[in-house]
Structure 1
Amino acid sequence: MDLTKAMFISAAGMRVQGARMKVISENLANADSISTVPGGDPYRRKVISFANELDAKLDTNIVRVKRITTDNTPFDLEFDPGNPAANQQGYVKLPNVNSLIEVSDMREAQKTFEANLTVIESVKAMMARTIDLLR
Structure 2
Amino acid sequence: MASLCVLVLLVAASSVVQGHENIAAVVSQMGLLEKEINQLKVELNHLKSDVPNKMDILELLLRSDLTERIVSSYIRSQIESFEATVNSHVMSQIKHLKRGYQQMKRQTLRLTRQLGDTVKDKDACEQQREQEGDEAIFIN
Q: TM-score range by the shorter chain?
A: 0.3 to 0.5
Greater relative contact order (CA < 8 Å, ≥ 6 in sequence): 1
Query: Normalized against structure 2, the TM-score is what?
Result: 0.36
* TM-score after normalising by structure 1: 0.37
Q: Which structure has the larger Rg over C-alpha atoms?
A: 2
- The structure with more helix, counted as a fraction of residues: 2
